Structure 1
Amino acid sequence: MRLFVTGASGFIGSRVVPELLDAGHEVVGLARSDASAAALTAAGAQVRRGDLLDPDGLRAAADEADGVVHLAFLHDFSQFEENQRTDRRVVDLFGDVLAGSDRPLVIASGLVPFDTGQPGVADEPMIRRATAAATVRLAERGIRSVVLGLPPTVHGAGDRGFIHRIVEIAREKGVSGYVGDGAHAWSAVHRDDAARLFRLAVDKAEAGTVLHAVADSGVATRDIAEAVGRRLGVPTTSIDPADAVGHFGWLGMMWSMPMTGDGGPAAATVGWAPSGPTLLADLAERHYFQD
């Protein structure tokens, strides 16, 4: 298939593109910059210049494709609500273009927002809940729509997400902190395993499917903090929940909460078998701790 991929040069997308190419697909990647375009060309993909704020370009690219993989999201937390609205507009646009074609539309989402501690159920809409639910409903319009839920931690070399920030804070503060007793857990997946699931979703998932890319169903935040402390050579300590935002900044609220999920249905549905390193094994490597 000829697949249009947004976020194609990002942390996850840069692994998804080779997965799709190796499976025999043709990839057209969305690129905002010369550097992104060059990376896509080097990977063997074609380039479509533009961004998520270019509806005409997105519409034309989707119309020319046999399917769409939507990974891009505007990660400016100061405009998070507006960025979610942009994401919804993009998914709606792809839905209008692909309607009645039985072509795949696979979108990246997340697990249950501000999880209550119960593992997510893989047939429910997930984070960016309204957009995920709308994507599932696109199956009724003749689209092979798939929501692929990512855990809070997609880890690996080059990660600049939440775990990277936890390491930075530990280095800045001189202590590696967890909140309260640190027993609450985060789920995780290595980015190579996540990329493989995106490819399997394109190739095998049925319309209206929700899959979770969860390899580690729950890693205690205390264990994460201890792994960071060992690598940095700083003490590990509990941070009072009342002081979490003061210590961790914007990440404090999320680091205080359990966010878990269950990837089992993905294995049963499309044959996904994660094989990459666990989060704690990855934290024993050097790449998270290089300046």
Structure 2
Amino acid sequence: MSFSTKILVLGATGYLGGSIVTRLLEHPRAANFTIIALVRSEVKAQKLETLGITTVVGSLSDHDKLEGLVAQADVTIGTLVLNDVAEQADADDLPATEAILRGLKRRFEDTGKAPILIHTSGTGVLIDNAKGMFLTDTIYSDTDIAKIEALPPTALHRNVDLAVVAADTAGYAKTYIILPPTVFGLATGKLVDIGVQNPHSIQIPGFIKYTLARGKVGIVGEGKNVWGVVHHDEVVDLFIVLLDAVLSNPETSHGREGFYFADNGEFTHREFVDAVSAALADKGVVELAEPTPFAEEEYKQMPLLGFFGTNARARPDRSRALGWKPTKTAKDMLESIKPEVEALTQKL
């Protein structure tokens, strides 16, 4: 007799979540999965149902509904953060996280078995205040627990990460936190094809759109700071690699040892700005010129701009040891900017 593993995906129509759902549908063990998605749109829910996905219409603010769904699941995958300030309202929604944790606790009390939570955070938790003026030599490894635990509780995403780890420490859940850096590449697959999934990341299109509105390319400081990078498909690979590991071995590193970075290369802010400038100039929508520093007023209008001037350097030693094998690098990210510009300018 085979038992179905109930997998709840939060953010199932998002950039990462939609692709995770697609991979679950195509998984070798898909026949043993019951995939459940919490979605805001009735129309999208109906489309997902045609793929065999169980849907519930609601949002993260429906705390009782959220708690109840989690209490019915063996695995909860939360994909509501892409490591950027613009999504912080979802990423760092502590009340929603507390509802999820209550659901996990109920599941444990009902079954006697600790349910699984795979939570998405981001390397934004590592940022400094470089303002584009320097490259830091501080690099975090996901195996260096002491260094991660030394991060201040006020750091971006940290309040939620700490609550997630505390649930594992309490013993009523096995928790795992994936921390992507800048994610690039257009999402493809079944959910994109049926029109329910957002195919775009946040950071790169956001900067391109702002540049188009500004009329010329801007830069934070001197652009010397560095960020990590990962291709969309390869961070989704990590979710599946981790899920497979956890389902086959419940003692896969979890809790305070359950941080998994997803970096595969680095780029400077200046390299990124120059690539955006060249791609927009090639389309004839922005004149190719030396980038101009953002004004103080611009940072107030778009807080994400300051984020582009920070350092966040990470080494995915634990992720690689698990069997994750990314191949796309910062060079690929810089080359991906041109098709992003093509896609965005077609909508103008």
**Higher strand proportion, which one?**
1
Task: List gaps (5 residues or longer) in structure 2.
Answer: 129-135, 187-198, 247-251, 282-286
CA apart distance, 1:42: 4.4
Report the aligned-residue RMSD.
3.0
- In structure 2, the partner of 1:15 is 19
2:299 matches 1:279: no
Asked if structure 1 preserves the Cα contact closer than 8 Å seen for 2:117 and 2:174, the reply is yes
CA apart distance, 1:172: 2.1
Secondary structure of the equivalent of 2:230?
strand
Equivalent of residue 304 in structure 2, options 242, 246, 251:
251
Asked if structure 1 preserves the Cα contact closer than 8 Å seen for 2:67 and 2:100, the reply is no
- In structure 1, the partner of 2:190 is none
Q: Which amino acid aligns with 2:270?
A: R
In structure 2, the CA distance between the partners of 1:90 and 1:192, relative to structure 1 (3 Å rule), is farther
Aligned partners of 1:275, 1:46: CA distance in 2, in Å? 34
In structure 2, the CA distance between the partners of 1:172 and 1:110, relative to structure 1 (3 Å rule), is same
- For structure 1, which segment, 171-180 or 103-112, has the greater mean C-alpha deviation from structure 2 after superposition? 171-180
CA apart distance, 1:94: 3.4
2:133 matches 1:121: no
Aligned partners of 1:106, 1:82: CA distance in 2, in Å? 14
CA apart distance, 1:89: 1.9
Map of 1:66-145 to 2, 5 A cutoff?
66-72=74-80, 80=89, 84-99=93-108, 100-113=112-125, 115-116=127-128, 117=136, 118-122=138-142, 123=145, 124=148, 127-140=156-169, 141-145=171-175
- In structure 1, the partner of 2:64 is 56
Q: TM-score, normalised by structure 1?
A: 0.86
Aligned partners of 1:241, 1:175: CA distance in 2, in Å? 11
CA apart distance, 1:228: 0.9
Equivalent of residue 263 in structure 1, options 300, 308, 316:
316
Identical residues among aligned pairs (%): 21
Aligned partners of 1:174, 1:223: CA distance in 2, in Å? 19
Equivalent of residue 184 in structure 1, options 205, 225, 231:
225
- For structure 1, which segment, 95-104 or 141-150, has the greater mean C-alpha deviation from structure 2 after superposition? 95-104
CA apart distance, 1:86: 2.6
Flag the structure with larger Rg.
Answer: 2
CA apart distance, 1:34: 1.9
- In structure 1, the partner of 2:346 is 290
Task: List gaps (5 residues or longer) in structure 1.
Answer: none
Aligned partners of 2:118, 2:67: CA distance in 1, in Å? 16
In structure 2, the CA distance between the partners of 1:258 and 1:237, relative to structure 1 (3 Å rule), is farther
In structure 2, the CA distance between the partners of 1:276 and 1:16, relative to structure 1 (3 Å rule), is farther
